[in-house]
Structure 1
Amino acid sequence: MEDLELLKKYLRIDGSEDDVILTLLMNAAEEYLADAGVPVTEKASAKYKLAVMLHTAMNYENRNPAVKMQEFNKAFESIIWQLKS
């Protein structure tokens, strides 16, 4: 299954009107993981894909920068640490 289609299932999105935005957010999530020190070799792992989906969901569903998402950030950071080790 293509990554975009998997992400849309995760977010429960049926249409294609936001595909460009979702693709941009997925690419940004992958760059974020690379900048955080996650090895490229992790790209095939389920944890890596989940981290990309979590980061994308956070930015897609919470477009207000004033919103604090502490619980999400803890889960996301935990996955990053696991991927880096």
Structure 2
Amino acid sequence: MELERLKQYIRIDTDDDDILLEQLKQSAEQYLKNAGVSVGYENALYCTAVNMLVANWYDNRDVISAKDTLSMQFKNIVSQLAHIRKEEYNG
């Protein structure tokens, strides 16, 4: 996924945080992989999950939070993507 698309989703106009956003994008990819999701930018749900996760982490950079910041929508998307991977793996 191009950094510009990610910045559009988060509504960032400057290049000031490009290094941070790239790091968050890589972390989001690893997070999804660890959740059982195959990397696949051709899948719109995968792109949405990366966008949502990066936006969440970018907006909530505090170490401690009193609330669960990941939305139910995000959790549902990851669940669907992980299910797709299991189907592909089991053939």
TM-score range, shorter chain: 0.7 to 0.9
Higher-Rg member (1/2): 2
Q: What TM-score, normalized to structure 1?
A: 0.86
In structure 2, C-alpha distance between the alignment counterparts of 1:78 and 1:65, rounded to whole Å: 24
User: What code does the residue aligned with 2:60 have?
Assistant: N
Task: Give the corresponding residue for 1:26.
Answer: 25
Determine which of 60, 81, 86 is the counterpart of 1:83. 81
Identical amino acids, percent of aligned pairs: 40
- Compute the TM-score of the two structures, normalised by the length of structure 2: 0.81
Number of corresponding residues? 82
Q: Distance in 2 between matches of 1:5 and 1:43?
A: 14
Relative to its length, the structure with more helix (as a share) is 1
Matching residue's letter, 1:73: S
Asked whether 1:38 is paired with 2:22, we answer: no
The root-mean-square deviation of aligned C-alpha atoms, in Å, is 1.4
Gaps of at least 5 residues in structure 1 are none
Shift of 1:66: 2.3
* Moved segments of 4+, more than 4 Å: none
How far apart are 1:74 and its partner, in Å?
1.5
Gaps of 5+ in 2: 84-91
